[in-house]
Chains A and B, each alone.
Chain A
Amino acid sequence: MPQTLRGALRLARWLACAAVLQWLAGCGTLIPQTVALRTDWPQGVPRQVELARVPFYPQDDYLCGPAALAMAMNHGGAGVRPEALVDEVWLPSRRGSLQLEMLAAPRRHGLVGYRLEPRYADLLREVAAGNPVIVLQDAGLLFPQWHYAVVNGFDYATGTVYLRSGRQPRQAMPFSYFERTWRAGSYWAMVVLPPERIAATASEDRWLEAVNALARSDGAAGVRAYRAALARWPDSLPAVVGLANQLHDEGVLDEAAAVLRAALQRNPASVILQNNLAQTLSDQGRNDEALAWIRRAEAAHSPFASEVRATRKLIEERLLGSPNPAPAPPG
C-alpha cells in the first residue's frame, strides 16, 4: 500500500512539473499583448491613471450589461439608471446582453457608442484620455461566463488593471490575468462618449459609422457629432453629407446649402454633394439654380445615376408645375 502511494505521489509530482513547464512555455501565446506591453509601452500614455469620477453601480443577477453601460453613460453625461437600461439591452432568454445592443443603446440617449480596435494599447489610450472602457470578459472557470465590466484605471509599476465590476467598485486585476479573460471575447471593448468628444483612438471611417448610427436615433445629437467630426476631418465626405442631411431634415435649408457649397469647393467632383445641393436648392424654391447643379451631376458617371435622375425629374416637374415657385416643405 505505501509503495503504491509513493508511486502515485511521484507521478503527481511529474505531472505538476510538466504542467508548470507547459504553462511557462504557453505564457507568451496566452497573453501576447501583455508580453508586448512589457517591452513596448505605448508612446504618450502615462504609467499610472485612475478615473475616480466614474460612478459605480453594483449589478444585480446577470445584469452586468445594464450596470456597465450605466456607469459609462453617466460618465458620458446621460443621467440614466441601470434599471432603465434593462429594457434596452437585456435579453431574457439569453440571460445577458449582446455586444451590438450595448453599442446601440447609448444612441437613444444622445451618446456615441464606439467599438475599439482589439488592442491593449488602444484600451490604455482611451483610459488615459479620460474615457472609461466597457470590456467583455470570460469570467468562467470551466465553462464560458460572459461578463461586462468597466476599466477605469491601470498602473504599469504594479502591472494592475482597475475595474468597476459586478459588486466590486475597485477590482484590481493583473495585466496578464485581465488579458486572459478579455482575449476570450476577441478583445471586445467600447467607449461611450458625448457627440462632441471624439474617441482618442477613433479612425475617421469607423467613427463616422458610429455617428451615422447616432443620427438615426437622435438628429440633434447627430448634428453636434457631425460638426465635431468635420472639425477633426475637414475633408470627410460622410461628415458633410450627414450634417447637411440632418440640417435639411430639421428645415434649416440655408445652412444645409451653405455646408454643401463649402464642401463642393474642397471636392468639386462629388456627385453626392451636387445631387444633395440641387435637392436642397429646389426645396428652397430655387429650381433654376438646382437644375444647373443636377445637370453637372448627371454629366459624371457615378453609382448614383438613378438618384440623380430622380432628382432632375422632380426639379423639372416643379419648374413646369409653378412658374412662380413657392418654397416646398423639406423631405
Chain B
Amino acid sequence: MNLAFKKTTCRVLVVSLLALSFQAAQAGLIRAEQAAPPMSAERALLLGTLDRAEVTAQLQALGVDPLAARQRIQSMSDQEVHAMAQDIQAAPAGGMSDWAWVAVVLLGVAIWYYAVRK
C-alpha cells in the first residue's frame, strides 16, 4: 500500500468521522429550514455536514481549542457554516487595539523626521 493511498484513506476517515458526529436529523420529520428552501434540502444537508467538519478544522488552525471550535460551529445554521467555509480567512475580524494608534503615530513621526526635517 503506497503512502498517497494511505493519506487519502486517512483524510476520508477524518472527514467522515467529523461529518457523522454532526448529524442531528429528526427521524421522519421535515425540518423547519426546509419549509423555506433556498436550495435542494438534501444538497444543503450534505454541504452543511461537510462544511461543518471543514470549518471546525479551520477554527482549530486559527488557534481555537478543538472542543470550543465544535461548540461554536454547533450554534450555526447550515447556510452560515457554508458562508464561513467560503471566507473565514478574508472576512474582516473586528478587534481594534491601542497599538494600532501607536503605529500610526510612529509612522507619522518617521515621515516628518525623514522627509520634512532633514
Q: How far is the CA of A68 from the CA of B96 in the complex (A)?
A: 12
Query: Are B30's CB and A100's CB within 8 A?
Result: no
Q: Specify the chain B residue showing the minimal Cβ separation from A188.
A: B92
Query: Are B92's CB and A136's CB within 8 A?
Result: yes
Among A238-253, those with CB < 8 Å from B are: 238-239, 241-242, 245, 248-249
Q: Is B53 an interface residue (CB 8 A)?
A: no
Q: Is A150 an interface residue (CB 8 A)?
A: no
| Contact (A97, B76) CB under 8 Å given A141-B104, A215-B32, A275-B30 | no
Query: Are A166's CB and B96's CB within 8 A?
Result: yes
Q: Is A228 an interface residue (CB 8 A)?
A: no
Q: Is B3 an interface residue (CB 8 A)?
A: no
Among B3-52, those with CB < 8 Å from A are: 24, 26-37, 40-41
Query: Are A104's CB and B75's CB within 8 A?
Result: yes
Q: How far is the CA of A2 from the CA of B3 in the complex (A)?
A: 77
Q: Which residues of A have CB within 8 Å of B83?
A: 100
Q: Which residues of A have CB within 8 Å of B40?
A: 303
Q: Is A94 an interface residue (CB 8 A)?
A: yes
Q: How far is the CA of A314 from the CA of B84 in the complex (A)?
A: 37
Interface of A is mostly: helix
- For A269-313 the 0/1 string (1 means CB < 8 A from B) is 000100110011010000000000000000000011001001100
Q: Is A91 an interface residue (CB 8 A)?
A: yes
The size bracket of the interface on B is 35 or more
Interface centre among B75, B92, B96 (most CB of A within 10 A): B96
Q: Which of B26, B35, B76, B79 contacts A238 (CB 8 A)?
A: B35
Q: Which residues of A have CB within 8 Å of B95?
A: 62-65, 94-97, 146-147
Q: How far is the CA of A282 from the CA of B28 in the complex (A)?
A: 10
Query: Are B75's CB and A96's CB within 8 A?
Result: no
| Contact (A98, B63) CB under 8 Å given A64-B95, A88-B72 | no
Query: Are A307's CB and B30's CB within 8 A?
Result: yes
| Contact (A213, B30) CB under 8 Å given A97-B95, A104-B72 | no
Query: Are B91's CB and A98's CB within 8 A?
Result: yes
| Contact (A241, B32) CB under 8 Å given A87-B65, A213-B75, A216-B77 | yes
Q: Is A92 an interface residue (CB 8 A)?
A: yes
Q: Is A323 an interface residue (CB 8 A)?
A: no
| Contact (A146, B93) CB under 8 Å given A61-B98, A107-B75 | yes
Nearest Cβ in chain A — how far from B54, in angstroms? 14
Q: Is A217 an interface residue (CB 8 A)?
A: yes
Q: Is A44 an interface residue (CB 8 A)?
A: no
Query: Are B62's CB and A92's CB within 8 A?
Result: yes
Query: Are B107's CB and A142's CB within 8 A?
Result: yes
Q: Which of A93, A136, A241, A310 contacts B28 (CB 8 A)?
A: A310
Q: Is A182 an interface residue (CB 8 A)?
A: no
Query: Are B77's CB and A144's CB within 8 A?
Result: no
Q: Specify the chain B residue showing the minimal Cβ separation from A214.
A: B75
Q: Is A49 an interface residue (CB 8 A)?
A: no
Query: Are B30's CB and A304's CB within 8 A?
Result: yes
- For B80-104 the 0/1 string (1 means CB < 8 A from A) is 1001100010011111111110001
Give 5 nearest A-B pairs by CB, closest first: A96-B93, A96-B95, A92-B63, A242-B32, A62-B95
A interface list, Cβ under 8 A from B: 61-65, 68, 87-89, 91-105, 107-108, 136, 138-142, 144-148, 166, 185, 205, 208-209, 212-213, 215-217, 237-239, 241-242, 245, 248-249, 272, 275-276, 279-280, 282, 303-304, 307, 310-311, 314, 331
A–B complex contacts, Cβ < 8 Å, 18 sampled? A61-B97, A61-B98, A62-B96, A63-B95, A98-B91, A99-B94, A142-B104, A146-B94, A147-B95, A208-B36, A209-B36, A216-B75, A241-B31, A248-B29, A249-B26, A272-B34, A303-B41, A314-B28
B interface list, Cβ under 8 A from A: 24, 26-37, 40-41, 59, 61-65, 68, 71-72, 74-77, 79-80, 83-84, 88, 91-100, 104, 107
Instruction: Known A-B contacts: A91-B93, A209-B36, A242-B32. Give 18 more (CB < 8 A).
Output: A62-B97, A64-B94, A88-B72, A91-B62, A98-B93, A100-B76, A100-B84, A102-B94, A104-B72, A141-B104, A146-B94, A146-B96, A213-B76, A216-B74, A245-B32, A303-B37, A304-B41, A307-B30
